[in-house]
Structure formats: C-alpha cells, structure tokens
Chains A and B, each alone.
Chain A
Amino acid sequence: MFHSRFLKAAAAGVAFSLAAGAALAEDMTFALSANVVTLDPHLTTTVGTDLSVISHIYTPLVIRQPDMKIYPAAAKSWEVTDGLTWTFHLRDDLTFPDGSKLDAAAVKWNIERILNPETKSPVRAWLTTIKEIKVVDPVTVQFVTDKPFASLPDQMSQIFIMSPAWTQSHNPAIEASGTGPYDLVSYVSGDSVTLKAKAGHVDGAPSFDNVGFRVIPEDSSRIAALLAGEVDLIAGIPPFELERINGTEGVSASSVSSIRMVYVKFNNLKPPFAGNTKLKLALNYAIDKEALRDAIWDGQGELSRCQPLNPAYFGYNPDLAPFPYDPEKAKSLLAEAGFAEGLTLEFEVPMGRYLLASEMAQAIAAQWAEIGVNTNIVEMEYGRWLDKYQNAGQMGDLSYIGQSWPTLTADGMLGLLEPGNIYAYYDNEEFGNLIREARSLTDNDQRLALYKKATESFCASPAHLVLFDQPTTYALRDRIKWQARADDIFRAMDISVAK
C-alpha cells in the first residue's frame, strides 16, 4: 500500500546523503535552549533537545522528514489489516555497533521495555493500545492493538530502537550506541554533546563529520554565540531579534510556522462561559490578532483559522477563516450574552514556556478591556499552572496555552477538547460525538468529512480565543542551509553545506 511512493523518496534520500558525503568533511554545531537530560530514547518526550540528539544515533521504524510526511527508516514498508493488526517489514542491513542486528526480536524487546511500568517510560502512554507483539520472522514484526489506532506509524516515528544486549549492560541515560549515522563521542550533562559520523554506514557518510550540541539557555547568549561564530544554528529566539540578525554579515534569520498552536482557553465547564456561546464569540471578535502578531511577534506566525488545527495536521479544514476584528460586534454580542456592564475574569499565564506569552497576555487583556472585559492576569510557574490545569481540574476562567499533537492527527489534537477529557474544559457535545465517530472508522475520506463537521461545530461555539500558530524562529550562519521543520526537531541530516 505504501510501497512505491515511499521507496522512491527513500532512494532519493539515500542518494542525497551519498552525494553530500562525497564532499570534504565538515563540522557543525547547534545551540540548544535547554539541557539534554537523557540519551535514553524511551525515557524522554522532549523533541527539541533530547530526541533531536537521539535521532542522530538511533533509528526509528519510520521517520518524519521536514515535509512532515512519514517515510521508511528501519522499516521498509508497513500495512494494516482488519484495522487492528499492523505489520512492519524491516530492512535486514541495519547492525548495531555491538554486532547484533536490528531485527523483529529487537523491535519487540524495545516496545516491551517501554510498556513495562518499571521502566517508568513517559512514552508508554502513547502505546498502551498495543496488546500483542508478534515476531513473524526476523524481518517482519506485527503489532496487535485493542482499538483502531490509525496513527500508529506516526507514533512509531518517535520510538527509537536500541540493542537489547547493549542496553542491558550499559547505562543508556549517559551512553548511546545505535544504528544511526552518528556515534556518541562525549556527553557533558548541562553543557554539550559531541557526535562523530560513523565510518562505513550502510546509507553512506552524512554531510557533517562532527556534530556538536551546546546548551545555552539564555536567548541573548545564544544569539551572541551565533554572531561570534561559535555555533551554526540556533532556534527559539525572540522574533524581534530576527531583523538585527538579518542585518549582520554572515548570518540570516527566519521563522517557520510550527505545529504548536497557542490560544486562550475558556473554562467552559463553569460560569460565565458554560452554555454561553455569545460570550465565547464576543471575546473572539474583540481581538485584533494581526496587530498583536505584528507588534509582539514582529509579523511572524500564522493566524489560526477558527479551529485548533493547522495545515500540517490530518483533518485540517481549509474552508474556515479566522474571526475578523470587530469590536462593535463584540460589544453587542457581549450585551446579548448578558454582560452589557462588562465582567471580570481570572487569566492564568504559565511562565517561561510559550513564546512571549507574558507580553501577549497583557496585550490581549488590554484589548479585551476596551470592550469592557477586565482580566486579572496571574502569571504562575509552569509546573504550578500545569497542576491546576491538568491534575486538579481547576483551570481558571481563562488560560494561555500552546498545544500540539506529535502524530499530527485531528484525532489527537481535537481529542484534547473532547468533552470528558481532563484537558478539554469544553461543553460541546456535538463536537465530542463527531470525534468519537471518526475515531471508530478507518476510511480516511469518511473521517475527513466528520472532522470537517467537527471543526465547523467548534467554530460556531469556540472553546477558546483562537489565536496563532506559534512560529519557530531560527537563525543560522550562511555556510549552511536548513530545511526548516515545523516540529522542533534539529537534525544534522536536514542540513547541508551551502555552496
């Protein structure tokens, strides 16, 4: 089913890396904004740091390329039968440095390790629908799920395969040994990671001989390092710095819309939002999103189109448009909602997590104040905010949040708003029914039709203030070119030396 298209792409990828490898050995250095906490692929979900480094050393079954599509990696092809059984056909030429092969038995061992509660793997939550793993033959492995799991291949793109024998005799948190194009040279916790290209890798030599990752949490220090030539690629810099960087010799900066969307959630389970659609609409019409985006994000980032999805997601509805800025309509809707005198709401903002959230929230509050909606902004430390939102079920009236779903499916992303889900705080039963129905089907066209209806239902009674796709800002030295990706993964394999 997936054969021809993906094999062609895989072949192209191999040819590209072979051609690049024929050039002189080059080095490159990334600057990361947070620490690489662990090298064990099963014990982390942090994409921008841990998994980025890990993806150089280990191989997953399938891989997501910069175009956000899934391509073969350790598996050549895969198919699903009767909705519950997934069969992956593996390559037979991947060998670990310790001599063992990446075969079906190894894959089974890896998944079982994740599913074992004693491993304390945070990834386990993603794979609990897998009830059985069968080793059909050394290059064929089967997963049997207890419910239809259409995005299993997408999920597998973040599961990296380790050697069973090696893992049991080493400490995978600080050592690494995999089938990927790079070997680990050194790992200094809190400071840096250094990788070296494997000699004689089956897919040929990668573009860079030595790859380094430096941990520089402070934005201005990271930019200083780039300008000084100490690092080649940085990301997560404030949008207003892009102009200055572009004006500097030898470096350039840009941004790409990420898969994360930011919005201000309404607590729709209690007054004043419960059952009050007009209030929800009023708050959406009251915000001049373009002005916000231009002022605070310096024009970077795309407006979300009346749904918690963007074009990268399966199930995105391109026919919806963003709410226009219409303060008069907002005021009249507010009056119809029963708040002609205005009202006051609590606005919770997590600190240090989302791009310029503090400034955004204050600007949004100022715009709402113009139609009579006053807010008390409470900035709280991220852990405390998360606890309130997720654990205690006590989110405030308004909450600034950015969310994404790693498998880029509507099922996952919209599922976060499914009434009954602890993350949802939403009271739209029609929406919930549509999603559940879509989840039980396997035909993609039918599912798309249902998601179209679901997003329209959302737009008619929005669960939150619809805002933007958060931009991933990045800057790089002119000596390299990067196929920028929306999902926060940084791989030397996506980078080439500029001619």
Chain B
Amino acid sequence: MSATSFFKRIQGGHVGLLVLAVVALLAIFAPLVAPDNPVRSDLRGRLAEPTLSLTAVGTAPLGRDQLGRDILSRMIYGSRATLLVALCAVVVGGVVGVTIGVVSGFAGGILDRILMRITDIQLAFPLMLLALLMVAAMGANFFNLIVVLALTSWTRYARIVRGEVLQLREREFVLSAVAAGASAWRICVKHILPNIMAPIIVVATLELGRVIVMESALSFLGVGMQPPTPSWGRMLAEGRSYVSRAWWLAAFPGLGIMLVVLSINLIGDWLRDVFDPKK
C-alpha cells in the first residue's frame, strides 16, 4: 500500500501502543539502558542544566536534580516504580472489582444489595480524600500504596461488570447451563467471564492511566513513594519547589507522565472502539 494510505490507517491507539511499548522496554531493561546510577548523588554537580546530548561524556542529557543525580537515569528507573505500582494496583483492583461485580450480578438478591450498598458507601468519598486518609493511617510504602490505589479503583469494575452480568444472566447459553446443573463457579468462569473481558480490559486500561496520575498526586501531597527510589510522581513533587530555578527537575517527569497516560488513554479508546459491536 502507498505511504498516504498507510498513514491514514494509523490510529491513535497504535501510536499509544508504540509509545507504551518503548517505555515498558526501557523500564524492563533499565540497568542496561540508563547512563548513570539513579541514586548516586554528586553535590558538586547539583542542578546542572540539561545538555540534551547523549554523546557528551559525563554529562546529564536531561540535567541533574537538587542532589546532583542524573535525571535521565532517574526517569528510566522511575518508570519501573511508576508502572509497577500502577500495574499492581490495577490488577488487584480489577480482581477485587470484577469478583464483586460478578458475584453481585450473578447471585442477585440480598448479596447483591449488600455489595452495591458497600460500593455506594465507598463512592460517597472523593477518591483523593480516601487515599489521603488511608495512607496517613497506614503509612506510606510500596505495598500500602498499591492497596490504597486499588481501593479507589475497584468500584469502577464492580459497577460495569455487574451491569453486564445482569444482562448475560438472561441469555440462552447461560440459562441452558443452569438448567444442565452446572455449578455457579463453572458458569461464571466458563461462560460469563469470557464475555465480559472486553469492558474489563477497557476499564483496566483507563484505570492504569488514572492511577499513574493519582500516584503523582499522592507524592505531591507527601504520601507517595519513599526515597531514594525514584518514581515519576515523586520526582515531580520534589521538583516543584525548584520550578523557577531549575525547570528541568519537574518538567521531564511531568512530560513523562503526560506522555504515558496519553498513550494509555489512546489505547483505551481504541480498544473500546474495537470491542464495540456496533462498529
């Protein structure tokens, strides 16, 4: 095909996928790719300006931060923490949310009402406040962060999954499985789950983006990741005081977050279009 028709067929989702893949690869192969040690501080070189050159020896292409650490290396290593926390939070939140949604939709009755009540109670809280409160109460470390972020996430899955399951429950193939005496567990796993994967994946993708932004917000408020482990959110929070003197401290992590979340959202939108039967 010609060049123009190739470019016409590229969708936002493809671009997003490409960017995300690059970032993921950088994260996985961080020790090989990063030019410098992300936690080594060199006080004499602190707040060095970005040189934007990868070939100059001993300089930092994206500048150095307030402790003289190379920002590019911190970005590369930081992508690990940022992505890992977000991924774990999405998985945990997803598993919990989907389980509750399926149980609620399938079982119905009192169980459904109780679970939905719990969902409502949780939703009565702005996410930010809930997260703040939980982290302040439990202490801020990697594990707790995942728990808290997952807590703010599961309701989205539960609601949508329950809606889907309610519809599926009345479908032919499910009704016949029930009539054939299959156990609830078997029905859920074999018949229902595969059919709700599409919306789950879409929600999960969008949640990934939202959680990344939320982690940086929590770091901004002082309850995110611990030093000296870099995470983009933390770098952004630390760099905010230096914005007028050394803009590169906050600019690059900020751009990084924007780029990754943008890509993730593009992928999410694209997936939603792909899975939509009406198109």
Mark A residues whose CB is within 8 Å of B: 219-220, 223, 238, 240-241, 244, 291-292, 295-296, 351-352, 358-359, 361-363, 365-366, 377-381, 383-384
Mark B residues whose CB is within 8 Å of A: 40-41, 43-44, 46-47, 66-68, 136, 139-140, 222-223, 226-228, 238, 240-245
* Known contacts A358-B227, A359-B67, A377-B228; 10 further A-B pairs (Cβ under 8 A): A220-B244, A223-B244, A238-B242, A240-B245, A241-B245, A352-B222, A365-B228, A377-B227, A380-B140, A381-B140
| A residues in contact with B238, CB < 8 Å | 358
Q: Are A380 and B139 in contact (CB under 8 A)?
A: yes
| A and B contact pairs by CB, cutoff 8 A, 15 listed | A220-B240, A240-B245, A241-B245, A244-B244, A291-B43, A352-B222, A359-B67, A361-B227, A363-B41, A366-B40, A380-B140, A381-B139, A381-B222, A381-B223, A384-B139
| A residues in contact with B67, CB < 8 Å | 296, 359, 362-363, 366
- For the complex formed, measure the closest distance between the CB of A218 and the CB atoms of chain B, giving whole angstroms: 8
Q: Are A295 and B140 in contact (CB under 8 A)?
A: no
| Residue of B whose beta carbon sits closest to that of A361 | B227
Question: In the complex, A244 Cα to B136 Cα: how many Å?
Answer: 35
Question: In the complex, A396 Cα to B166 Cα: how many Å?
Answer: 53
Known: A359-B67, A378-B226, A380-B139. Contact between A244 and B245, CB under 8 A? yes
Question: In the complex, A245 Cα to B40 Cα: how many Å?
Answer: 30
Q: Are B227 and A379 in contact (CB under 8 A)?
A: yes
- For the complex formed, measure the closest distance between the CB of B242 and the CB atoms of chain A, giving whole angstroms: 7
Question: In the complex, A352 Cα to B238 Cα: how many Å?
Answer: 11
Q: Are B227 and A362 in contact (CB under 8 A)?
A: yes
Q: Are A366 and B244 in contact (CB under 8 A)?
A: no
Question: In the complex, A241 Cα to B246 Cα: how many Å?
Answer: 11
Known: A352-B222, A359-B66, A377-B226. Contact between A241 and B244, CB under 8 A? yes
Q: Are B46 and A295 in contact (CB under 8 A)?
A: yes
- For the complex formed, measure the closest distance between the CB of B67 and the CB atoms of chain A, giving whole angstroms: 6
Q: Are A238 and B241 in contact (CB under 8 A)?
A: yes
| B residues in contact with A295, CB < 8 Å | 43-44, 46, 68
- For the complex formed, measure the closest distance between the CB of A473 and the CB atoms of chain B, giving whole angstroms: 12
- For the complex formed, measure the closest distance between the CB of A332 and the CB atoms of chain B, giving whole angstroms: 24
Question: In the complex, A351 Cα to B241 Cα: how many Å?
Answer: 15
- For the complex formed, measure the closest distance between the CB of B48 and the CB atoms of chain A, giving whole angstroms: 12
Q: Are A219 and B241 in contact (CB under 8 A)?
A: yes
Q: Are B245 and A292 in contact (CB under 8 A)?
A: no
Counting from the closest, the 3 A-B pairs by CB-CB distance are: A295-B43, A366-B41, A351-B222
| Residue of B whose beta carbon sits closest to that of A377 | B227
- For the complex formed, measure the closest distance between the CB of A406 and the CB atoms of chain B, giving whole angstroms: 27
Question: In the complex, A131 Cα to B225 Cα: how many Å?
Answer: 50
Question: In the complex, A254 Cα to B40 Cα: how many Å?
Answer: 31
Best-buried of A241, A358, A365 by chain B (most CB within 10 Å): A358
| A residues in contact with B223, CB < 8 Å | 381
Best-buried of B40, B46, B241 by chain A (most CB within 10 Å): B241
Best-buried of A240, A244, A292, A296 by chain B (most CB within 10 Å): A240
| B residues in contact with A380, CB < 8 Å | 139-140
Known: A240-B245, A241-B245, A351-B222. Contact between A362 and B43, CB under 8 A? no
| B residues in contact with A379, CB < 8 Å | 140, 226-227
| Residue of B whose beta carbon sits closest to that of A376 | B226
Question: In the complex, A47 Cα to B210 Cα: how many Å?
Answer: 40
Question: In the complex, A244 Cα to B227 Cα: how many Å?
Answer: 28
| A residues in contact with B222, CB < 8 Å | 351-352, 381
Question: In the complex, A133 Cα to B75 Cα: how many Å?
Answer: 64
| Residue of B whose beta carbon sits closest to that of A218 | B240
- For the complex formed, measure the closest distance between the CB of A365 and the CB atoms of chain B, giving whole angstroms: 8
| B residues in contact with A378, CB < 8 Å | 226
Question: In the complex, A359 Cα to B67 Cα: how many Å?
Answer: 7
Question: In the complex, A363 Cα to B240 Cα: how many Å?
Answer: 19
| B residues in contact with A241, CB < 8 Å | 244-245
| B residues in contact with A383, CB < 8 Å | 136
Question: In the complex, A365 Cα to B229 Cα: how many Å?
Answer: 14
Question: In the complex, A379 Cα to B222 Cα: how many Å?
Answer: 9
- For the complex formed, measure the closest distance between the CB of A134 and the CB atoms of chain B, giving whole angstroms: 47
Question: In the complex, A241 Cα to B243 Cα: how many Å?
Answer: 10
- For the complex formed, measure the closest distance between the CB of A380 and the CB atoms of chain B, giving whole angstroms: 7
Question: In the complex, A377 Cα to B44 Cα: how many Å?
Answer: 22
- For the complex formed, measure the closest distance between the CB of A216 and the CB atoms of chain B, giving whole angstroms: 14
Question: In the complex, A295 Cα to B47 Cα: how many Å?
Answer: 10
Of the candidates B43, B66, B136, B240, the one whose C-beta lies within 8 Å of that of A381 is B136
Of the candidates B43, B47, B140, B245, the one whose C-beta lies within 8 Å of that of A363 is B43
Question: In the complex, A220 Cα to B243 Cα: how many Å?
Answer: 8
Of the candidates B66, B140, B243, B244, the one whose C-beta lies within 8 Å of that of A296 is B66
Q: Are A240 and B227 in contact (CB under 8 A)?
A: no
Question: In the complex, A220 Cα to B220 Cα: how many Å?
Answer: 14
Q: Are A362 and B241 in contact (CB under 8 A)?
A: no
- For the complex formed, measure the closest distance between the CB of A148 and the CB atoms of chain B, giving whole angstroms: 42
| A residues in contact with B243, CB < 8 Å | 220
- For the complex formed, measure the closest distance between the CB of A467 and the CB atoms of chain B, giving whole angstroms: 15
| B residues in contact with A219, CB < 8 Å | 241
Question: In the complex, A98 Cα to B139 Cα: how many Å?
Answer: 50
| Residue of B whose beta carbon sits closest to that of A219 | B241
Best-buried of B44, B67, B238 by chain A (most CB within 10 Å): B67
Q: Are A240 and B136 in contact (CB under 8 A)?
A: no
- For the complex formed, measure the closest distance between the CB of B137 and the CB atoms of chain A, giving whole angstroms: 9
| B residues in contact with A291, CB < 8 Å | 43
| Residue of B whose beta carbon sits closest to that of A366 | B41
Q: Are A220 and B227 in contact (CB under 8 A)?
A: no
Question: In the complex, A41 Cα to B269 Cα: how many Å?
Answer: 58
| A residues in contact with B242, CB < 8 Å | 238, 240
Known: A358-B227, A363-B67, A377-B227. Contact between A220 and B241, CB under 8 A? yes
Best-buried of A241, A291, A296, A362 by chain B (most CB within 10 Å): A362
| Residue of A whose beta carbon sits closest to that of B141 | A378
| B residues in contact with A223, CB < 8 Å | 244
Question: In the complex, A404 Cα to B238 Cα: how many Å?
Answer: 27
- For the complex formed, measure the closest distance between the CB of B172 and the CB atoms of chain A, giving whole angstroms: 55
| B residues in contact with A363, CB < 8 Å | 41, 43, 67
Question: In the complex, A422 Cα to B87 Cα: how many Å?
Answer: 43
Q: Are A362 and B228 in contact (CB under 8 A)?
A: yes
Question: In the complex, A365 Cα to B47 Cα: how many Å?
Answer: 19
